């Protein structure tokens, strides 16, 4: 089981909030010592509530859903750091509640679901016009954290603005990957997580984990729902790097070669390896650069461009993955491998890392929501290539549903023409809007090919 992400819908939060009112507030005692620090108080003035309205296509139409999360202001020019699962490119409205209880609009600067981080910017014109003021927080060094160190989580659990909870660092290098962890997008391959027992609840997402001096050492993101105090945050040293990238480019570009690593644990002996070296290649994505270069599951990776790797334990995997991801896209990387007692050097040309989640769109008159088949999705599902779009939603009673299309179907052809781009489908839809006519659709469901007629 993977810990779940933690933003939540406002309707639910009201009910939960009412229940929570019965619980006597213990926060005063918990934060008594911290309140003595001026730095900590300044940090409190930099934590915001984030209300997001975002578009979804999963009902076969453009629909909007609302969510609540937290964030921390990082700079005088109004940059706010939060989770990618709070503010994503699907957001159509982002509204920030400052600690002064004033609401200000914000815009997405960029997001990175791999580390579950997003950067948004306050509308500074509005801030200036209304004469609003805010503080900003400073990062601490997450590498210096030790297990047992006291930390505080600040955020908006269940819509309860500016809640501070206290705990300790339970583990400073936790590893888990989640292939669909951020709204269906991958996360966790390139970072470890800080684990804390500070109470983290739905709505804490995007809020800071801070030390007693008010320094941000992590961004709270996940927790095991129903477990007692197993919360997880992205370390600040990783967040700082992502923030710099998002400010500069609006996105983080990574390289991909298609290795799926596993911890070597005590297989060192089986593979006759020198002490503290090697990473087990558990799997190679079909059709990936590594697969084309001849790498196979069961190979041992000894070095990347001559630099030795040590992947004995799970928490050692993200830095190695990140090493590969940080290579320039399209560059040649020299992998030193061990296979069946032989060592070899294999050059692999990196390509750009893509998510399994492709672009989404809805065609309202058909009652059809779709997502482009990505290369990663095609590999995962053993499709020949990235042809087609996946049906993610149909609206009952509309042409797509009437024809028999259902979520999960992959539309591969329209009027006998192979569908390679989402744009092609958009063009066909425009023609349909102008002059409605029947359309022959070929779709695949679990490798079974069927034909459907979309009728006006």
Residues that bind another protein (CB under 8 A): 260, 262, 267, 270, 280, 282-286, 296-298, 340, 379-382, 403-404, 416, 438, 440, 442, 444, 447-453, 455
Which member of 170, 205, 255, 336 is catalytic?
Answer: 205
Which member of 51, 112, 116, 299 is catalytic?
Answer: 116
Output the smallest distance, CB 341 to another protein, in A.
8
3-state secondary structure of 28: helix
Q: Are 278 and 271 in contact (CB under 8 A)?
A: yes
Beta-bridge partners for 152:
166, 210
Which member of 13, 85, 236, 299 is catalytic?
Answer: 85
Residue 99 is classified by DSSP as: T
Helix (H) or strand (E) holding 97: strand 91-97
Output the smallest distance, CB 177 to another protein, in A.
13
Q: Which residue has the tokens 């659990």?
A: 157
Residue 101 is classified by DSSP as: S
Judged by beta carbon, residue 243 or residue 376, the one nearer another protein is 376
DSSP track, 49-84: EEEEEEEE-TTSS-EEEEEEEEEEE-STT-EEEE-T
Phi, psi of 417 (to 5 degrees): -95, 130
Output the smallest distance, CB 281 to another protein, in A.
9
3-state secondary structure of 96: strand
Judged by beta carbon, residue 286 or residue 328, the one nearer another protein is 286
Output the smallest distance, CB 444 to another protein, in A.
8
Give the separation between CA 410 and CA 418, rounded to whole angstroms.
12
Catalytic annotation present for 116: yes
Catalytic annotation present for 75: no
Catalytic annotation present for 326: no
Judged by beta carbon, residue 148 or residue 341, the one nearer another protein is 341
Output the smallest distance, CB 266 to another protein, in A.
8
Output the smallest distance, CB 233 to another protein, in A.
29
Helix (H) or strand (E) holding 453: strand 448-454
Joined together, the tokens standing for residue 104 give 């200000």
DSSP track, 195-251: EE-S---TT-TTPEEE-TTS-EEEEEEEE-TTSSS-EEEEEHHHHHHHHHHHHHHSS
Catalytically active residues, by annotation:
85, 116, 205
């Amino acid at each position: 089981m993977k810990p779940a992400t933690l933003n939540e819908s406002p309707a639910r939060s009201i009910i939960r909030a009412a229940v929570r009112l019965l619980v006597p507030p213990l926060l005063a005692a918990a934060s008594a010592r911290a309140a003595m620090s001026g730095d900590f108080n300044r940090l409190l003035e930099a934590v915001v509530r984030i209300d997001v309205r975002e578009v979804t296509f999963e009902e076969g139409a453009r629909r909007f859903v609302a969510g609540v999360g937290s964030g921390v202001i990082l700079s005088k020019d109004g940059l706010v750091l939060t989770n990618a699962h709070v503010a994503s490119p699907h957001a159509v409205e982002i509204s920030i509640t400052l600690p002064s209880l004033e609401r200000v609009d914000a815009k997405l600067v960029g997001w990175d679901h791999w580390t579950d981080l997003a950067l948004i910017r306050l509308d500074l014109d509005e801030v200036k016009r209304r004469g609003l003021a805010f503080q900003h927080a400073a990062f601490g060094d997450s590498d210096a954290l030790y297990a047992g160190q006291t930390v505080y989580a600040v955020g908006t659990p269940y819509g309860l603005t500016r809640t501070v909870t206290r705990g300790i660092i339970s583990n400073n290098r936790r590893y888990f990957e989640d292939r669909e962890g951020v709204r269906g997008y991958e996360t966790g391959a390139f970072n470890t997580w800080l684990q804390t027992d500070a109470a983290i609840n739905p709505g804490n997402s995007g809020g800071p984990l801070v030390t007693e001096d008010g320094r941000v050492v992590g961004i709270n993101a996940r927790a095991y729902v129903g477990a007692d105090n197993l919360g997880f945050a992205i370390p600040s040293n990783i967040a700082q790097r992502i923030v710099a990238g998002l400010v500069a480019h609006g996105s983080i570009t990574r390289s991909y070669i298609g290795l799926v690593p596993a911890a070597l644990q005590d297989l060192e002996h089986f593979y006759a390896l020198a002490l503290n070296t090697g990473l087990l290649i558990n799997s190679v994505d079909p059709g990936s650069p590594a697969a084309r270069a001849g790498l196979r599951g069961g190979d041992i990776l000894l070095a990347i461009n001559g630099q030795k790797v040590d992947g004995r334990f799970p928490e050692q995997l993200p830095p190695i993955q990140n090493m590969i991801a940080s290579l320039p896209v399209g560059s040649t990387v020299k992998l030193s491998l061990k296979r069946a007692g032989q060592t070899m050097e294999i050059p692999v040309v990196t390509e750009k890392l893509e998510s399994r989640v492709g672009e989404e769109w809805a065609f309202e008159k058909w009652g059809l929501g779709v997502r482009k088949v990505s290369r990663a999705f095609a590999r995962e599902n053993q499709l020949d290539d990235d042809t087609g779009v996946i049906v993610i939603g149909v609206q009952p009673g509309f042409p797509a549903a009437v024809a028999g299309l259902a979520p999960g179907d992959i539309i591969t052809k329209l009027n006998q023409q192979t569908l390679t781009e989402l744009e092609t489908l958009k063009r066909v839809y425009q023609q349909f809007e102008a002059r409605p006519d029947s359309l022959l659709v070929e779709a695949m469901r679990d490798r079974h090919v069927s034909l459907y007629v979309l009728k006006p």
